[in-house]
Amino acid sequence: MQEYAAVKFSMLGSTAKMTQVWKARDLLRRAKEYGAKWDEYERRHREYERRQQYEQGREEESKENESLKEPDRPRRDINLELLRGLFKREMPVLVHASRSDEIRNTLKVFRDEYNLDVIILGGEDSFRITDELRKYNTGVAIGPDILRYEKGKPINNADLLTRHRVRVALHTSATSGTQYLPMNAAYAIRHGMDEDQALRAITINPAQMLGVDDRIGSIDEGKDADLVILSGAPFDFRSRVEKIIVNGRVAFERTD
């Protein structure tokens, strides 16, 4: 099981919006150099241990064993240690970006320059640059607001993105968990989003974006047996939870 799901950055604009870009670029550069240093140390240390075992198995120590020296261990940096997982592609980057220029800067730095897996968080203007998002196979996590208005007309970003074949997930920004996700999805459906796409946006799509779809996100053999059984359609507010199964065991069952 992964200890961490993602690392979050911010590209939100300010009076000095390019500062965010340079800060992200510098941090990624240092993290990549740090990771390369540790990768080289671990490679040399494995070689050192292999040679040491070989020499210890001989009856007499050779001159080669006398000159055998353990490689110097690099200094740990707890701030950069987590970022090593990005360059090993063990987890994606969540980048909070709203305007189209912020999203483009994100794609330039994180995808073009460092070829990292990226999820756009928020992405209010993402419907304007669907071609670029699709080119980089970059998904967008939308929420907590589902609609925005321009000149009095509603814009359903989640609907527009899915129509342009961009992967979408819905989020609530709530520390209380996922209890409001069905409400967000129902609201998106009410304003034009396909119901199947909305269901995917709170199940398999976020699982794929985070790289955990081998365990969760859909009902399939070999995956975690975490299931919610409802009395009706998932986005009908009249539907009630009949049963909850966690890891294959019934955790809740309605009795009334």
User: Percentage of the chain surpassing pLDDT 90?
Assistant: 68
pLDDT reported for residue 29 = 95
The torsion of the CA quartet 80, 82, 84, 87, rounded to 10 degrees, works out to -120
Q: Check whether residue 170 and residue 78 sit in a common domain.
A: yes
How would residue 154 be classed by pLDDT, with cut points 50, 70 and 90? Answer: very high
Spatial distance between the Cα atoms of 207 and 31, rounded to a whole number of angstroms: 26
Q: How many domains does the chain divide into?
A: 2
CA Rg value for the chain = 24
Q: Check whether residue 216 and residue 106 sit in a common domain.
A: yes
Q: Contact 2/83 with Cβ under 8 angstroms? A: no
Q: Check whether residue 18 and residue 136 sit in a common domain.
A: yes
Domain boundaries, position 250: 225-256
**250: which strand partners?**
245
Q: Check whether residue 187 and residue 172 sit in a common domain.
A: yes
How would residue 60 be classed by pLDDT, with cut points 50, 70 and 90? Answer: low
- Give the N- to C-terminal CA distance of the chain in Å, as an integer: 37
pLDDT reported for residue 171 = 92
Spatial distance between the Cα atoms of 102 and 100, rounded to a whole number of angstroms: 5
pLDDT reported for residue 52 = 80
Q: Check whether residue 79 and residue 179 sit in a common domain.
A: yes
Burial 151-183 (b: 16+ CB within 10 A, else e): eeeebbbbbbbbeeebbbbbbbeeeeeeebbbe
Q: Check whether residue 102 and residue 211 sit in a common domain.
A: yes
> Would you say residue 53 lies in a domain?
no
Q: Contact 236/255 with Cβ under 8 angstroms? A: no
Average pLDDT over every residue of 146-167: 94
How would residue 50 be classed by pLDDT, with cut points 50, 70 and 90? Answer: confident
Q: Check whether residue 230 and residue 220 sit in a common domain.
A: no
Q: Check whether residue 15 and residue 123 sit in a common domain.
A: yes
> Would you say residue 55 lies in a domain?
no
Burial of residue 206 (number of CB atoms within 10 Å: 0-12, 13-18, 19+): buried
Q: Check whether residue 236 and residue 206 sit in a common domain.
A: no
Asked if pLDDT for residue 237 goes beyond 80, the answer is yes
- Residue appearing with tokens 């000149």: 151
> Would you say residue 63 lies in a domain?
no
